[in-house]
């Protein structure tokens, strides 16, 4: 794999009398390759299971094999669009950093990273460009809402009401990922808040606001990938114990920390373009409220993750 090849070469390549895998900048790259791959994997496993369960349900209802396949694919078309975007961009990131780790040899056909880099780029173009898939994901959700297949109005109204109330600080939950689970729920609220505001402002002209559609899609992608990662690691911790999956817990916490920040940035950009005056201030206040997560030392977590991949010279985080 690109991750394994990157780690192996980082151990072999010497600079200043030591392997470059000993430098923090390289460790960050290796850890980030692992983190993004694991997060993507989590989303793929989750979506694959959802599609499989829907196929079984449709099959039990008397549908033909073709109808079950098409029906399940249609039901989770939004998730598939998200995966196409995140999958191709994760691969691009990993091979790009792989070339960086290989240095000049990354451009040589005698080394594997050159081929990986050239082969990766097309994925963001075919099967629908990533820009189209971003806009399509949001458009499909809104069309479901307009057809009455998905109720977005009640949650959106509940969020507006919540913004007018004093935050509920509640009792502090000390269980694993308690803060992260709350953050996921709030990330979903942030997506609904920004998407709802966009619909209210632009109505049927929303399809012409492509930048805003893509920002909303990015918010949704961050939420889906983060939640998928969290669900997977929670399950692993329950099966194997927290100590046995310490690296995976680090991965989930880094994903959460980064996803909340990326979502907040996309949300701010969209709100700044859509609103003004009191409306903008209220939306920004809501976004700040929904993107709170206690600080986490992602640098040390990445070092721990990098240590494992450097030692094993392979992706071994399933």
Q: What positions carry a catalytic annotation?
A: 127
CA distance 244 to 253: 16
CA distance 93 to 276: 36
Which tokens is 42 given? 């989590």
Alpha helices in 164-313 (DSSP H): 178-202, 210-240, 246-274, 277-290, 298-312
Whether 281 contacts 245, CB under 8 Å: no
61: three-class secondary structure by DSSP:
coil
276: three-class secondary structure by DSSP:
coil
Q: Return the C-alpha torsion angle 282, 283, 287, 288, nearest 10.
A: -30
Which tokens is 1 given? 């794999």
DSSP annotation of 122 reads: G
Bridge-partner residues for 19, per DSSP? 14
Whether 31 contacts 302, CB under 8 Å: yes
CA distance 59 to 69: 9
Taking CA atoms, 50 is separated from 54, 77, 235, in Å, by 6, 11, 16
CA distance 3 to 24: 17
């Amino acid at each position: 794999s690109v991750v394994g090849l990157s780690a192996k070469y980082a151990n072999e390549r010497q600079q200043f009398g030591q392997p470059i895998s000993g430098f923090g900048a390289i460790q960050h790259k290796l850890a980030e390759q692992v983190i993004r791959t694991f997060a993507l994997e989590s989303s793929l496993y989750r979506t694959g299971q959802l599609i499989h369960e829907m196929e079984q349900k449709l099959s039990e209802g008397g549908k033909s094999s073709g109808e079950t396949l098409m029906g399940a694919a249609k039901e989770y078309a939004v998730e598939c669009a998200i995966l196409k975007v995140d999958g191709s961009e994760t691969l691009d990131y990993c091979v790009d950093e792989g070339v960086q780790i290989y240095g000049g040899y990354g451009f040589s056909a005698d080394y594997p990273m050159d081929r990986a880099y050239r082969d990766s780029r097309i994925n963001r173009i075919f099967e629908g460009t990533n820009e189209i898939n971003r806009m399509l994901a949001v458009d499909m959700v809104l069309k479901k809402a307009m057809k009455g297949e998905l109720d977005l109005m009640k949650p959106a109204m509940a969020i507006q009401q919540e913004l007018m109330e004093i935050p509920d600080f509640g009792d502090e939950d000390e269980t694993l990922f308690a803060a992260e689970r709350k953050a996921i729920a709030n990330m979903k609220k942030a997506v609904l808040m920004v998407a709802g505001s966009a619909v209210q402002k632009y109505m049927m002209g929303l399809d012409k606001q492509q930048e805003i559609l893509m920002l909303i899609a990015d918010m949704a992608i961050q939420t889906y990938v983060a939640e998928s990662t969290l669900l997977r690691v929670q399950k692993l911790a329950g099966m194997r114990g927290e100590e046995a999956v310490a690296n995976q817990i680090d991965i989930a916490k880094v994903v959460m920390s980064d996803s909340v920040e990326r979502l907040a940035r996309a949300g701010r950009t969209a709100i700044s373009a859509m609103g003004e005056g009191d409306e903008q201030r209220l939306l920004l206040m809501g976004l700040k409220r929904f993107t709170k997560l206690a600080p986490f030392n992602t640098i040390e977590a990445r070092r721990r993750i990098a240590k494992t991949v450097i030692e094993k010279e392979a992706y071994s985080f399933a």
